Amino acid sequence: MRWLLIVWMLWAGPALAVQPDEILSDPRLEERARDLSRGLRCLVCRNENIDDSNAELARDLRLLVRERLVAGDTNDEVLAFVVSRYGEYVLLNPTKGGSNMILYYAGPGMLLLALLIGGLYLRTRAKAAPRGSERLSADEAERLKQIMGE
Amino acid sequence: MVAELGHFTLILGFLVSLMVMIIPLVGAYQRWPGWMRFADVGSNALFLLTATAFGALTYAFVMSDFSLKLVWLNSHTAKPMLYKITGVWGNHEGSMLLWVLILTLFGAMAAWFGTGLPPTLKARILAVQAAITAAFMAFVLFTSNPFLRLDPAPLNGKDLNPLLQDPGLAFHPPFLYLGYVGLSMAFSFAVGALIEGRVDAAWGRWVRPWTLAAWICLTIGIGLGSWWAYYELGWGGFWFWDPVENASFMPWLLAVALLHSAIVVEKRESLKSWTVLLAIIAFSFSLLGAFITRSGIITSVHAFATDPERGVFLLLIMGVFTGGGLVLYAARASVMEAKGVFGMVSRESALVMNNILLAVAAFIVFIGTMWPLFSEMFFDRKLSVGAPWFNAAFTPIMVLLGVILPLGAMLPWKRGLLARVGGQLRLALMLALAVGALFWATQTGRSALGPVGLFLGAWLIAGSFTDLVSRTRKGEVLSRLRRLPRADWGKAVAHAGLGVTMAGIAGMMAWKQEDIRVLKAGEQFDIAGYTIVLNGVNQVQGPNYLSTMGDVSLLKDGRDIATLHPEKRVYPVAGMPTTEAAIDIGFFRDVYVVVGDAQDDGGWAFRSYYKPLANWIWGGAILMALGGALSLSDRRYRVAAGARNAATTQQPVAAE
Q: Are residues A64 and A9 both part of a single domain?
A: yes
DSSP state of B568: E
Q: Are residues A46 and A81 both part of a single domain?
A: yes
How close does chain B come to A72, measured CA to CA in Å? 24
What confidence tier does B291 reach under pLDDT thresholds 50, 70, 90? confident
pTM of the model: 0.90
The dihedrals phi and psi of B77, each to the nearest 5 degrees, come to -65, -30
What's the total number of domains in chain B?
Answer: 2
- Asked, for residue B277, whether it belongs to a domain, the answer is no
Say whether residue A37 is in contact with chain B using an 8 A CB cutoff.
no
Q: Are residues A83 and A126 both part of a single domain?
A: no
What confidence tier does B297 reach under pLDDT thresholds 50, 70, 90? low
- Asked, for residue B243, whether it belongs to a domain, the answer is no
Q: Are residues A59 and A105 both part of a single domain?
A: no
Residue B552's domain spans which residues? 513-612
Q: Are residues A108 and A84 both part of a single domain?
A: no
Cis bond leading into B152, ω under 30°? yes
- Asked, for residue A46, whether it belongs to a domain, the answer is yes
Q: Are residues A19 and A78 both part of a single domain?
A: yes
- Could you please report the per-residue DSSP string of B571-583? ETTTTEEEEE-EE
Q: Are residues A60 and A40 both part of a single domain?
A: yes
Say whether residue A27 is in contact with chain B using an 8 A CB cutoff.
no
Q: Which of B244, B383, B642 sits opposite A5 (nearest CB)?
A: B244
Which chain B residues are within 8 Å of A21, Cβ to Cβ? 518
For chain A positions 60-99, those within 8 Å of chain B (CB to CB) are 87-94, 98-99
Q: Which of B293, B368, B594 sits opposite A16 (nearest CB)?
A: B594
By C-alpha distance, which of B189, B161, B409 is closest to B282?
A: B189
Determine, for residues A92 and B163 on separate chains, whether the beta-carbon distance falls below 8 Å.
no
Which chain A residues are within 8 Å of B202, Cβ to Cβ? 140, 143-144, 147
Q: CA dihedral in degrees (B149, B155, B159, B160; nearest 10)?
A: 30
CATH code of the domain covering residue B17: 1.20.120
Say whether residue A129 is in contact with chain B using an 8 A CB cutoff.
yes
Determine, for residues A10 and B576 on separate chains, whether the beta-carbon distance falls below 8 Å.
yes
- Asked, for residue B115, whether it belongs to a domain, the answer is yes
- Asked, for residue B144, whether it belongs to a domain, the answer is yes
Determine the Cα–Cα distance for residues A60 and A70; give it in Å rounded to an integer: 15
Tell me the mean pLDDT in the region B15-29: 95
What confidence tier does A150 reach under pLDDT thresholds 50, 70, 90? low
Predicted complex ipTM exceeds 0.95: no
- Asked, for residue B48, whether it belongs to a domain, the answer is yes
Determine the Cα–Cα distance for residues A52 and A57; give it in Å rounded to an integer: 12
Which pLDDT tens digit goes with each residue over A111-144?
A: 999 999 999 998 888 887 655 555 667 777 778 7
What confidence tier does B90 reach under pLDDT thresholds 50, 70, 90? confident
Determine, for residues A11 and B650 on separate chains, whether the beta-carbon distance falls below 8 Å.
no
Determine the Cα–Cα distance for residues A108 and A93; give it in Å rounded to an integer: 17
- Asked, for residue B225, whether it belongs to a domain, the answer is no
How close does chain A come to B188, measured CA to CA in Å? 20
Which chain B residues are within 8 Å of A147, Cβ to Cβ? 116, 202, 205, 639, 642-643, 646
Residue A37's domain spans which residues? 3-90
Residue A110 has pLDDT above 90, yes or no: yes
Residue B645 has pLDDT above 50, yes or no: no
Determine, for residues B341 and A125 on separate chains, whether the beta-carbon distance falls below 8 Å.
yes
How close does chain A come to B405, measured CA to CA in Å? 16
Structural domain ending residue among the three candidates B110, B143, B161: B161
Which pLDDT tens digit goes with each residue over A22-64?
A: 888 888 899 899 989 989 998 887 778 888 887 888 888 999 9
Encoded amino acid at A70, one letter: V
Q: Are residues A85 and A118 both part of a single domain?
A: no
Structural domain ending residue among the three candidates A47, A71, A90: A90
CATH code of the domain covering residue A20: 1.10.8.640
- Asked, for residue A75, whether it belongs to a domain, the answer is yes
Determine the Cα–Cα distance for residues B544 and B564; give it in Å rounded to an integer: 22
Q: Are residues A86 and A138 both part of a single domain?
A: no
- Asked, for residue A95, whether it belongs to a domain, the answer is no
Which chain A residues are within 8 Å of B636, Cβ to Cβ? 148
Whether the CB-CB separation of A78 and A65 falls below 8 Å is answered with yes
How close does chain A come to B1, measured CA to CA in Å? 31
Which chain A residues are within 8 Å of B518, Cβ to Cβ? 20-21
* Average pLDDT in chain B: 88
Structural domain ending residue among the three candidates A90, A108, A138: A90
Angle (nearest 5°) at CA B77 between B72 and B82: 100
Which chain A residues are within 8 Å of B525, Cβ to Cβ? none
pLDDT > 90: what percent of chain B? 58
Structural domain ending residue among the three candidates B134, B161, B188: B161
Q: How many residues does chain A have?
A: 150
Which chain A residues are within 8 Å of B233, Cβ to Cβ? 6, 52
Q: Residue B224's CB: how many other CB atoms inside 10 A?
A: 22
Structural domain ending residue among the three candidates A90, A108, A139: A90
With CA atoms as reference, the chain B residue closest to A38 would be B388
Q: Are residues A104 and A134 both part of a single domain?
A: yes
Encoded amino acid at B405, one letter: L
- Asked, for residue A64, whether it belongs to a domain, the answer is yes
Determine, for residues B200 and A87 on separate chains, whether the beta-carbon distance falls below 8 Å.
no
- Asked, for residue A69, whether it belongs to a domain, the answer is yes
CB pairs under 8 A between A and B: 217
- Asked, for residue B278, whether it belongs to a domain, the answer is no
For chain B positions 245-264, those within 8 Å of chain A (CB to CB) are 245, 247-248
How close does chain B come to A24, measured CA to CA in Å? 12
Say whether residue A113 is in contact with chain B using an 8 A CB cutoff.
no
Structural domain ending residue among the three candidates B126, B161, B196: B161
The dihedrals phi and psi of B599, each to the nearest 5 degrees, come to -100, 165
Determine the Cα–Cα distance for residues B220 and B236; give it in Å rounded to an integer: 19
- Asked, for residue B268, whether it belongs to a domain, the answer is no
pLDDT > 70: what percent of chain B? 94
Determine the Cα–Cα distance for residues B532 and B608; give it in Å rounded to an integer: 9
Q: Are residues A47 and A112 both part of a single domain?
A: no
Highest mean pLDDT among B123-137, B320-334, B423-437, B638-652: B123-137
Q: Are residues A8 and A78 both part of a single domain?
A: yes
Whole-number Cα distances in Å, A149 to B122, B265, B347: 19, 21, 28
What's the total number of domains in chain A?
Answer: 2
| pLDDT reported for residue A16 | 59
What confidence tier does B437 reach under pLDDT thresholds 50, 70, 90? confident
